[in-house]
Every structure is written in structure tokens, then in C-alpha cells.
Copies of this chain bind each other. A is one copy, B any other.
């Protein structure tokens, strides 16, 4: 079907039943994790979630984050389990739990040491961004004025990530760096949480050129519900969002589109300030916010938190997507992509 011309139709299928049948995977969250959030995810039928464990963490600090997750897995075995392979997400679905897999939104864990790529992959870091907004040792972030693409160290690291099966994520990178990463990587890459620029002009959203190259190379885009990535912010409607999904699917192909909500539940303002400033500035940087609006933006009313995943399924159904397409967008694409992308290379 061509989704651009699909009319909104009355829901002639039980959206809730459809949602319950899906294996839902959220391609990015950064919650202040606790029992309530895990219970919400289970109740909302989410079977897999990509949990960010790094914004600015160094090697040692990343080990702290992994240690904290080990304690959570010990504390809530009835709710969560660690994902070593994608079959663990199927198991989580069958058992009414949530499988958690790890990603870094920065390359800070490997510091200046290429050998740390294999070590963190062994520890379960499946995904790593080459940059987080600023220039990194590997590539250029989307907040820098100019983008020189992938550095000398970056080329080496891409080869190593390909080798060990750690997924390259360019969500916070500049355009040239992203295109070069797609080109240089021998394996498909990821943009785990961003929207198309045509939907909303934000530094973090992606051009059609990038989205086309991503799709052509077998990559995956996770669509974001973060207000800064939506037209009108928190006032963006579910219909607008689902229209954008349809247009993105028409651009990229159904198998290249998933969801990466960028949900950051229960995080205080000082965490947002830390995400934006790390240790790199002595004057406050407001990132996508401003001095007038330094705080977390309000989520759209149809996706206030982990309880609202069924609304996405209902919205896509109302927008005219078929059940098998919704299954892909809501989770199967993530499962297929990660199954292939996290295998160690046999080349």
C-alpha cells in the first residue's frame, strides 16, 4: 500500500487485541528506572527496550552503570531480564517480562582505546553512538557548526564494531558523519531515535538524503516521541505522528521503520542539564531547550509514558496500516535488525 494516500478509517479491528498480540520493542529509553516503570512496561505489552546507559560516562563509569543494571536484574526478576540475544525478547514476551538491552549515546566508554569495543560488546553493550551532539574522537555531533565526517580513529572503530557485532547508532551525529558512517560500515547502521526533518525542523531530525541512504543500506530508523522532535512539541497529535510514520514508510520501506520513543520518565531537571553539559562547559548549554525553557518538555498527551504504547498501535491502525505492518513497526523490525546486526562478523 502507498501510505501517503491512505485515508483515515474507522478502527474495524480491536486495537487492544492487536496490541496484545505484538512483540513490542522500544528502540530507546532513558528512564530513572524503578519497579513502577518496569510494571508499566509489562502492563503496556512491551517485550524489549533499548536502555541508554551512557551519555558522558567514561570506561569506569560505564562499568558502574552495568553494575547498577545487574542489581536491577537481581531485584526485579519477575519483571525484567537481560537480553544476550534477540531470543531473550521472545522469551520475555512469553513470560510477561521485559527484555532490556544496552546502548551508549556516546563513544565515551571506549575513551581512546579501540580494544574496549570488544570488551564492552562482551559485557552486553549492543549499540553505541559515534557522537553525542559534540565532536567526538570518532565523528562530528549535530550541534557542531561544521562536520568533517569520520576521523582516523573513527574509521578504525567502525571496522572493529562491524567485526564484533556492535551496532553503530548515528542519532546525534551530523549529516556528513552519518552519511560517511553508512558508507564506511560494512553492516547496516541505526538511527535509534529521531524523526524526519520534513516532519519537524530540529537539529536532531534527519534529512531525506540520510533516511534514503540509511534504508538503502539496510539500516533502521526508530521514530521519536520526544517533544523537541515533534511539530508543535507536546501539542503534536497522534494523527500527525501517524501521518509522519506513513510518509516515512513510503520513503524508506516498511522494514526500515521502528519506534525509539526517547522516553525519559522520572528524570529530574539536573539529569537533563548533565546530559546537555556533561563536564565540557563552564557556562550552561541548553541544548534543544533555552534559558527560558531549561526543563524537560511535556510529552504529547497520547504518549505521556510507558503506559501509552497501546495508543501507538491504535493510532497506526486508525491511520490505515495493516496488522502485519504494525507488527513490523512496533517491534519485528527491531528484532530482525538486531538479530543480524549483533552477530559477530564471520568475514
**A→B interface (CB under 8 Å):** 56, 58, 108, 111-115, 134-137, 140, 143-149, 151-154, 156, 159-160, 278-283, 285
Given pairs A111-B279, A114-B280, A134-B153, 7 additional interface contacts (CB within 8 A): A58-B111, A112-B278, A115-B282, A140-B148, A144-B148, A148-B148, A159-B282
**Pair B143/A146 contact, Cβ less than 8 Å:** no
Output the nearest chain B residue to A152 by Cβ-Cβ distance: B134
**Pair A153/B281 contact, Cβ less than 8 Å:** yes
Q: How far is the CA of A2 from the CA of B113 in the complex (A)?
A: 50
Output the nearest chain B residue to A159 by Cβ-Cβ distance: B282
Chain B residues, Cβ within 8 Å of A159:
282
Output the nearest chain B residue to A139 by Cβ-Cβ distance: B135
Question: Which are the 7 A-B pairs with shortest beta-carbon distances?
Answer: A146-B148, A113-B279, A135-B151, A153-B280, A148-B148, A156-B281, A134-B152
**Pair A134/B135 contact, Cβ less than 8 Å:** no
**Pair A134/B134 contact, Cβ less than 8 Å:** no
Output the nearest chain B residue to A145 by Cβ-Cβ distance: B148
Q: How far is the CA of A125 from the CA of B111 in the complex (A)?
A: 22
- Shortest CB–CB separation between residue A195 and chain B, in angstroms? 23
Chain B residues, Cβ within 8 Å of A115:
279, 282
**Pair A135/B148 contact, Cβ less than 8 Å:** yes
Output the nearest chain B residue to A57 by Cβ-Cβ distance: B112
Chain B residues, Cβ within 8 Å of A149:
146
Chain B residues, Cβ within 8 Å of A156:
280-283
Q: How far is the CA of A65 from the CA of B58 in the complex (A)?
A: 21
**Pair B134/A279 contact, Cβ less than 8 Å:** no
Q: How far is the CA of A114 from the CA of B56 in the complex (A)?
A: 13
Chain B residues, Cβ within 8 Å of A282:
114-115, 156, 159-160
**A143 in contact with B148 given A58-B111, A134-B137, A137-B134 (CB within 8 Å):** no
Q: How far is the CA of A147 from the CA of B145 in the complex (A)?
A: 12
Q: Which of B108, B114, B144, B152 contacts A112 (CB 8 A)?
A: B108
Output the nearest chain B residue to A60 by Cβ-Cβ distance: B60
- Shortest CB–CB separation between residue A50 and chain B, in angstroms? 23
Output the nearest chain B residue to A156 by Cβ-Cβ distance: B281
Q: How far is the CA of A280 from the CA of B152 in the complex (A)?
A: 9
Q: How far is the CA of A123 from the CA of B279 in the complex (A)?
A: 20
**Pair B113/A134 contact, Cβ less than 8 Å:** no
Q: How far is the CA of A270 from the CA of B56 in the complex (A)?
A: 32
Report which residue of A113, A160, A278, A282 has the largest number of chain B beta carbons within 10 angstroms of its beta carbon.
A282
Chain B residues, Cβ within 8 Å of A278:
112
**A143 in contact with B135 given A56-B112, A108-B112, A282-B160 (CB within 8 Å):** no
**Pair A114/B281 contact, Cβ less than 8 Å:** yes
Output the nearest chain B residue to A148 by Cβ-Cβ distance: B146
- Shortest CB–CB separation between residue A179 and chain B, in angstroms? 14
Chain B residues, Cβ within 8 Å of A151:
134-135, 144
